[in-house]
Amino acid sequence: MKEVKNELYCRECGHTHITEHREYECPDCGSSNVYNCSFITCDCGETVYLSGHTIECECGKLYNGFGQELAPVEEWEPEDRYGCFGPQNACYDY
Ligand SMILES: [Zn+2]
Ligand SMILES: [Zn+2]
């Protein structure tokens, strides 16, 4: 299980902060005009944003929205494939 971190982007000052959990205020300017998205770091070193049900890294690894690695799609049941590739967006916007 990979460590899920949070990236906070402040629309006010334009800074990006990596935090443990989602934050509601910018650590720099205190603005609440912020955008949070959780992410993990793949074994290949890529940052994978958990912005959906199923996220594919550039290296081909699949993760779910909790950052858990999934089996390759070829091993899935057809119903599971269908259910997991809908247009989902788990990124939250404040
Ligand atoms: Zn700020
Ligand atoms: Zn990867």
Tell me how far the alpha carbon of residue 57 lies from the centroid of ligand 2, in angstroms: 5
The per-residue b/e assignment along 53-85, b for 16 or more CB within 10 angstroms, e otherwise, is bbbebeeebbbebebeebeeeeebeeeeeeebe
Environment class of 86 (CB within 10 Å of its CB; exposed 0-12, middle 13-18, buried 19+) = exposed
Q: What is the mean pLDDT of residues 9-14?
A: 97
Domain boundaries, the chain: 5-93
Is residue 78 pLDDT above 50, yes or no? yes
Tokens at 8, concatenated: 């906070």
pTM (2 d.p.): 0.75
Please indicate whether residue 8 or residue 78 has the higher confidence score (pLDDT): 8
Task: Give the model confidence (pLDDT) of 28-67 as tens digits.
Answer: 999 999 999 999 999 999 999 998 889 999 999 999 999 9
Tell me how far the alpha carbon of residue 88 lies from the centroid of ligand 1, in angstroms: 28
Tell me how far the alpha carbon of residue 8 lies from the centroid of ligand 1, in angstroms: 10
Q: Computed over its alpha carbons, how large is the radius of gyration of the chain?
A: 15
